[in-house]
Amino acid sequence: MKFKELATYFEKLEETSSRLILIDVLSDLFKHIKENEIDKVIYLTQGRVAPFFAPIELGMADKTVAGAIAIAYKEDRDKVLTDYAKLGDLGLVVQHVHHSPEGNEPSVSDVFAILLEIAHTSGAGTVEKRLQLFSDLLKTLDKTAAKHLVRIALGKTRLGIGDPTILDALALAVLQDRTKRKLLERAYNETSDLGLIGKTLMSGGLDAVAQLTVTVGQPIRSELCERLPNPMKVFEKMDKDGQGIHATPKYDGFRVQIHKDGQKVSMFSRNLEDMTHMFPELIAGALTQIKAKTAILDSEALAYQPESEEFLPFQETTKRRRKYKIDEMAKSLPLKAFVFDILYANGKSLIDKPLVERMKVLDEVIEKGDTLLEAPGQVLHKPEDLQLMLDDSISKGLEGVVVKRVDSPYVAGGRNFNWVKLKRHSAGDLTDTIDCVVLGYIYGKGKRTAFGAGALLVGVYDEKTDSFVTVSRIGTGLSDDEWRSIKERTKGLELDHKPARVESLITPSVWVKPELVIEVLADEITRSPLHTAGLVIKDEVKEPGYALRFPRLVSFRDKDKKAEDATSVKELIEMYNGQGKKE
**Cα(200)–Cα(377) distance, rounded to whole angstroms?**
39
Contacts of 520 (CB under 8 A, 6+ apart): 433, 434, 435, 436, 458, 472, 474, 477, 548, 551, 552, 553, 554
Contacts of 439 (CB under 8 A, 6+ apart): 457, 458, 459, 468, 470, 499, 502, 504, 508, 511, 512, 514
H/E run at residue 435: strand 434-442
Locate all alpha helices (DSSP H) within 32-89, ordered by sequence: 38-45, 62-72, 77-87
**Cα(176)–Cα(184) distance, rounded to whole angstroms?**
13
**Cα(73)–Cα(142) distance, rounded to whole angstroms?**
12
Neighbours of 301 (CB within 10 A): 26
Q: Give, in order, the Cα–Cα distances in Å from 267 to each of 34, 314, 322, 407, 550.
A: 33, 19, 14, 27, 39
**Cα(540)–Cα(524) distance, rounded to whole angstroms?**
28
**Cα(353)–Cα(331) distance, rounded to whole angstroms?**
38
Catalytic residue among 156, 250, 353, 421: 250
- Contact call for residues 167 and 74 (beta carbons, < 8 A): no
Among candidate residues 303, 179, 186, 191, the one with its CA nearest the CA of residue 251: 303
Does the active-site annotation cover 250? yes
H/E run at residue 417: strand 415-423
H/E run at residue 256: strand 254-261
Looking at the DSSP bridge assignments, the partners of residue 301 are 254, 337
Neighbours of 105 (CB within 10 A): 14
SS3 72: helix
**Cα(544)–Cα(85) distance, rounded to whole angstroms?**
41
Neighbours of 99 (CB within 10 A): 13
Residues with a known catalytic role:
250
